[in-house]
Amino acid sequence: MNKRILTVFLLVAVRAFAAADSQWFLQESTLTYHVSHPLHQTEGVSHAAKGKGVCHAGQCEFLIAVPVKSFDSGDSNRDLHMLQVTRGAEFPLVTVRTRLPESDAAAPSINADLEIQFAGQTAQYKQVPLKLEKQGDVVHMTGTIPATLSDFKIEPPSLLTMPVKNEIPVHVDMTWRQQ
């Protein structure tokens, strides 16, 4: 009798434990980098990011990847030049990894530690503020990553012999769905 109760308890416990795991999928995204040059400002936009989050024991691991080629600044010449300086043909993806507590999904704002691989280099950004808006199973996330060219050992591209600024903040606008 005790053995049967124990078996039922274990089955229920395993089911409950398994039910605690959940996954997040990136549904929509807009990533925008901003480049400043003495003569003009430029933005490059990508909607091609793919992302997944896996939650286990209250912690979620997230991975987001976006092809470098997918950024569009409205000028093919500029995009090719950006692709060259960021070594985008050789290292075609920008990847972002982070780990967040599962409970953060309900918070209005969080600070995330991000690890970004780009142009063959890895950089870490501590406590990047992100705003969250939860509606049912969907979380809308916005924020700005304070990236710089030197973080990834990228030589600032220049136009008319004037280089762009080192700062290239990346605005993030993402919609995640929990499954």
Partner 1 sequence: MPKNWPCRQVGVFLWSFAVFALAQVAPPLIAQTTTGVVRGTVSDESGKAVSNASVTATNMDTGQKQTTNTGAEGMYKLELPAGNYRLTFEAVGFKTFEISSATVIGTVPEVLDGKLERGEPVTGKPAPTQQENLPNAPSSSTTAPSLSDLGLSPEQTQGNTREQALLDKRTHMLKIHQRMGLITTGPLIATVIASMGAGGKSTSTVSRDLHVALGSLTGDLYGITAYYAIRAPRIPGTKKRGPIKFHEAMAWIHGPGMILTPILGAIAFDQKSNGEKVHGIASAHGPVAIVTAGAFGAALLSVSVKF
Binding mask 128-167 for partner 1 (x = CB under 8 A): -------------------------x-----xxx------
Examine residue 3 and tell whether it contacts partner 1 (CB under 8 A).
Answer: no
SS3 content of the chain, % helix, strand, coil (to 5): 20, 55, 25
User: How far apart (Å, rounded) are the C-alpha atoms in residues 27 and 36?
Assistant: 30
Mark the segment that binds partner 1 (CB under 8 A) among 28-36, 118-126, 136-144, 171-179: 118-126
Q: Distance of alpha carbon 34 from its chain centroid, rounded?
A: 16
User: How far apart (Å, rounded) are the C-alpha atoms in residues 60 and 171?
Assistant: 22
Examine residue 51 and tell whether it contacts partner 1 (CB under 8 A).
Answer: yes
**149 class by beta-carbon count within 10 Å (0-12 exposed, 13-18 middle, 19+ buried):** buried
* DSSP summary character for residue 106: G
Amino acid at site 11: L
Restricting to residues 79-108, name those near partner 1 by CB under 8 A: 80-81, 83-85, 87, 89-93, 95, 97-101
Task: Identify the residue among 40, 135, 136, 179 touching partner 1 (CB under 8 A).
Answer: 40
Nearest distance, CB of residue 75 and partner 1, angstroms: 3
Task: Identify the residue among 53, 102, 154, 172 touching partner 1 (CB under 8 A).
Answer: 53
The answer to whether 66 touches 48, Cβ cutoff 8 Å, is yes
Q: 24 vs 74, 79, 173, CA distance in Å?
A: 31, 31, 15
Which positions touch partner 1 (CB under 8 A)? 21, 39-42, 50-54, 56, 59, 61-63, 65, 67, 73-78, 80-81, 83-85, 87, 89-93, 95, 97-101, 112-113, 115, 117, 120-122, 124, 126, 153, 159-161
